[in-house]
Amino acid sequence: MFPHEEELIKERLGREPNEVEKAMLEVMWSEHASYKSSRKWLKLLPTKNDHVILGPGEDAGVVKFDESTAIVVGIESHNHPSAVEPYGGAATGVGGIVRDILCMGARPIALLDPIRFGPLEKERNRYLFEYVVKGIADYGNRIGVPTVGGETEFDESLDNYTLVNVACIGLMKPEELVHSYVEESGLLLVLVGNKTGRDGIHGVTFASEELSENAEEEDRSAVQIPDPFTEKLLIEATLEALATGKVKALKDLGGGGLTCASSEMAGKKGFGAIIYADRVPQREPNMNPMEIMISESQERMLFAVRKEDVNEIGKIFEKYDLEWTVVGETIEEPRYIVYWNDEKIADLPIDLLADVPIIEWEAKPYDIEKDVQTPELSVEEALLEVLSSPNIISKAWIWQQYDHEVQGRTVLKPGLDATVLKINDEYGLAFVSDGNPSYSHLNPHYGAMSAVAEVVRNLASVGARPLALVDNLNFASPERPEVYWSFIETIKGLADAAKAFGLAYVSGNVSFYNEVGNKSIKPTPVVAGLGKVKLENITTMGFKDEGDLIAVVGITKKELGGSEFYRIFGIKEGIAPRVDLEREKRNVEGILKAIELKLVKAVHDVSKGGLAIALIEMAIAGNKGFEVDIEKVPAEGGLSPLEVLFSESHGRFLISFEEKNLEKIKAIFDEFAVIGRVAEKVLIFNHKNKEAINLDLRQVKALYNSLPSLLGE
């Protein structure tokens, strides 16, 4: 808390808060809980359209899939805890978002994990990477929620740090929606699940500051302990309790613990609450009331139920051997009162906890984009280098540790443009996440737009029409003027791009103060998107049949700033690829039309690594080769072959199709050119009638599957 905030609290309260009150206020007024530095700007994001049942404001957003099906979606970050204790940090991140989905009334059905690390050459980065993956796997697998995708990136700027985001979706009927706030007094507040311990004390406050160099020793106690076994029981018990129709409000205990959950539940519609802190089951002896009120121990939920229903609900928890305790009640008067034994130890106006004034930091624009010369290299050498990059190679090592099949819905598996989950016999839900911090670093506005555009392209590539978005904004300290400016630019970019596609953000998360050793991370907006696809239209990126034509949709420009090619060859400057929203929309619409008319056999979005990598990914996925002519790629601005192959211009797709459909496909697209054909097991790039590259599919596959060997296996 800042000094001016302490003054303001004193003024509003008319006295100095006591120690317990101060601890609760500190948690609620933290950046992580209050969004005080971001709230003003988040209002710029579009949050409503016909698909949205419930936008931002509660634990997760709700989207209409069809008349009888709603999808709940949310995204969370667990960056600070994961950087200190990767296994527990990543695992409890999964647990938290799963409870956010659950407390809206939905069964959690899938997780996505966008995760980012420093270079794998360093031992500590490998340790962070391997244990984050293990934490996600052990937790997600044990609770029976499939982890179906995500993205993984490695970058020098994240040395000794990690960004661990996690998105979750849930499935329910629209009428099953349960709110996180009460609308009556006299309800009992029932705490269910794990006992409360000393873990995660001041977790949100810790997540609202930069990590010190000694964080690993100093901040362990702020990281929570994962218990997926209890979480699984909590999922089943909660769904069973909700089915009684007698739960009036439900909230999970996450950041800010009992204080946050109970004060928000009671206060949102103007009611108050009394909490009897001594009744909270304690994991450790001699915990004091302050610890109990702000502990972030995991796997706990808070139910509001009428007195006459509490035993019926309680029996359900007992069936699952879950401890349940009435810890408080809602009251008419809008106050937040805490008792310890019979002594009143806190008494605050409830809105003092929630009503945190906005902070607007100084924002200072910067412009670091400048055009640079692309180095002269042999195309083959460049291709092999880019192909071997940890950012490009197969992530099967990761997602094979995740049970991505449990619950029996996974139609399209991880490793493709988007995952598809079967929702009913006719339709599936496509789910994907993207973020491009290296573009955002050069130009936060276009970087943000690119994340949205890529999500939409990924959805379209599998045949899905986009439904809704969620955003997770990972930034350094907002107190740095350049960072704050990049944050505002990011939001504007996210807003512009979503509006162009007619999409809304239904939930989101902001994580500031991501720095270690006084070094800022790159602006890292991560966007996850949902789409709806007819099962029979689902399309994959793999080449299907020898002789099929390969075409590129879109225009390739000299846009290599932030590209994987530049990164590998140590070029930090450049101009970030621009996003032309009209072009994106046109080409996405064309792709969807071509898929729906069943004219194409394979579709793939062109992104990291450019056309060269996109072609290789299609070859590997389909176990086929190709022969293409580099100079046939429609390009603007006099590009060298290297630049054509590795430019990361947006708005592009690669497709393959039977020759007989050529005229019909041509008629769909303005920007379109056939560049070659699907071949047997060789990969040939021609330039001016000469073979510039000739690779064997087996050799390429070996490189593509080299992640285990990079980890020393």
Partner 1 sequence: MPKFAVIVFPGTNCDFETVEAIRKAGGKVERVWYKSSLKDFDGVVLPGGFSYADYLRAGAISARAEIMEEVKVLANDGKPILGICNGFQVLTESGLLPGALRPNKVPRFLCKWVYLKVSDTQTAFTQFYEEGEVIRMPIAHAEGNYYANDLNKVKIAFQYSDENGNITNDVNPNGSLLNIAGISNEKGNILGMMPHPERASDRWLGSEDGLKVFKSIVEYVKR
Q: In 3D, which of 570, 533, 334 has the Cα closest to residue 424?
A: 533
CB of 404 to partner 1, least distance (A): 6
Pairing of strands 188-193, 147-149: unpaired
| For partner 1, the closer CB: 427 or 657 | 427
What's the burial of 217, exposed, middle or buried (CB within 10 Å: 0-12/13-18/19+)?
Answer: exposed
User: Residue from 87, 399, 439, 485 that binds partner 1 (CB under 8 A)?
Assistant: 399
Q: Find out whether 289 and 345 touch, Cβ atoms under 8 Å.
A: yes
Is 32 a residue of the active site?
yes
CA atoms within 13 A on the CB side of 596: 13
Task: Calculate the dihedral angle through the C-alpha atoms of 23, 358, 266, 302, rounding to the nearest 10 degrees.
Answer: -60
Give the β-pairing of 147-149 and 107-112. Answer: parallel
Site string for partner 1, 143-172 (x = CB under 8 A): xx----------------------------
Of 404 and 583, the one with the shorter C-beta distance to partner 1 is 404
| Nearer CB in complex with partner 1: 578/681 | 681
Known catalytic residue: 4? no
In the complex with partner 1, which residue's Cβ is closer, 225 or 384?
225
Which span sits near partner 1 by CB under 8 A: 12-20, 397-405, 626-634, 698-706? Answer: 397-405
**Binder to partner 1 among 125, 410, 514, 647 (CB under 8 A)?**
410
- Indicate the SS3 state at residue 282: strand
Distances (CA, A) of 532 to 295, 315, 460, 464: 40, 39, 10, 5
Give the bridge partners for 69, in sequence order.
66
Task: Say whether residue 126 binds partner 1 (CB under 8 A).
Answer: no
How many other C-beta atoms are found inside a 10 Å radius of the C-beta of residue 158?
Answer: 24
* Tokens describing residue 663: 């005229």
The residue annotated as part of the active site, out of 51, 78, 445, 650, is 78
Applying CB under 8 A, which of residues 69, 325, 389, 401 lies at the interface with partner 1?
401
Q: Binding partner 1 by CB under 8 A: which of 3, 14, 285, 408? A: 408
Span interacting with partner 1, options 64-72, 276-284, 395-403, 451-459, rule CB under 8 A = 395-403
Site string for partner 1, 75-114 (x = CB under 8 A): ----------------------------------------
Q: How far is the CB of 601 from partner 1 (least distance, A)?
A: 18
316 vs 469, beta carbon nearer partner 1: 316
- β-bridge mates for residue 690, sequence order: 687
Give the x-and-dash track for 623-652 against partner 1 (CB under 8 A). Answer: ------------------------------
- Of positions 39, 142, 465, 578, contacts partner 1 by CB under 8 A: 142
Give the closest residue to 250 by CA, choosing from 259, 569, 241, 56: 241
CB of 396 to partner 1, least distance (A): 8
* Residues in region 295-324 near partner 1 by CB under 8 A: 319-321
Q: Are 323 and 313 in contact (CB under 8 A)?
A: no
In the DSSP assignment, the letter for residue 56 is B
The window from 22-30, 264-272, 409-417, 654-662 that contacts partner 1 (CB under 8 A) reads 409-417
How far are the Cα atoms of 63, 276, 471 from residue 49, in angstroms, in the given order?
A: 10, 42, 17
Name the segment binding partner 1 (CB under 8 A); options: 140-148, 504-512, 600-608, 659-667. Answer: 140-148
DSSP H helices, 61-201, are 79-84, 86-102, 123-143
Contact 643, 566 (CB under 8 A): no
Q: Nearest CA to 451 among 463, 439, 461?
A: 439
Task: For residue 566, give both structure tokens.
Answer: 């530049």
Residue range at the interface with partner 1 (CB under 8 A); choices 176-184, 201-209, 373-381, 398-406 = 398-406
Choice between 582 and 713, CB closer to partner 1: 713
Closest separation between CB of residue 319 and partner 1, Å? 7
The DSSP result for 661-681, as a single string, is: GHHHHHHH-SSEEEEEEEESS
**Which of 200/226 has CB closer to partner 1?**
226
Burial class, 565, CB count within 10 angstroms (exposed 0-12 / middle 13-18 / buried 19+) = buried
**Alpha carbons 494 and 450: distance in angstroms, whole number:** 9
Q: Which is nearer to partner 1, 144 or 281 (CB)?
A: 144
CA separation for the pair 551, 655 (Å, rounded): 5
Shortest separation between residue 420's beta carbon and partner 1, angstroms:
9
Window of 298-306, 408-416, 477-485, 654-662 that interacts with partner 1 by CB under 8 A? 408-416
- Of the residues 80, 248, 404, 650, which one makes contact with partner 1 according to CB under 8 A: 404
Identify the residue among 120, 372, 384, 535 touching partner 1 (CB under 8 A): 535
Q: How far is the CB of 515 from partner 1 (least distance, A)?
A: 32
Is 428 or 625 the residue whose CB approaches partner 1 more closely? 428
| 124: CB partners within 8 A, 6+ apart | 118, 160
Segment near partner 1 (CB under 8 A), from 134-142, 157-165, 476-484, 696-704?
134-142
| Own/partner pairs, 697-702, CB within 8 angstroms, 24+ separation | 697/619, 697/620, 697/623, 697/624, 697/625, 700/387, 700/616, 700/619, 700/620, 701/620
Could you count the other beta carbons within 10 Å of the beta carbon of residue 604? 27
Residue 246 contacts residue 307 (beta carbons within 8 Å): no
Q: Looking at 85, 113, 403, 515, which residue binds partner 1 (CB under 8 A)?
A: 403
Q: How far is the CB of 326 from partner 1 (least distance, A)?
A: 24
- Nearest approach, Cβ of 129 to partner 1 (angstroms)? 14
What's the distance, CA 211 to chain centroid? 22
Question: Are 529 and 417 in contact, with CB atoms under 8 Å apart?
Answer: no
With CB under 8 A as the contact rule, the residue among 405, 545, 546, 680 that binds partner 1 is 405
Q: How far is the CB of 414 from partner 1 (least distance, A)?
A: 9
Q: How far apart are CA 168 and CA 145, in angstroms?
A: 9
Q: Which of 94, 172, 222, 233 binds partner 1 (CB under 8 A)?
A: 233
| CB of residue 124 to partner 1, shortest distance in Å | 21
From 12-20, 75-83, 396-404, 636-644, span contacting partner 1 (CB under 8 A): 396-404
Report the site for partner 1 in 173-232 (rule: CB under 8 A).
228-229, 232
Neighbour tally for 178: CB within 10 Å:
21
Quote the least distance from Cβ 471 to partner 1, whole Å.
29
**Site residues (vs partner 1, CB under 8 A):** 134, 137-138, 141-144, 228-229, 232-233, 319-321, 399-411, 413, 422, 428, 535, 713
Which residues carry out catalysis? 32, 78
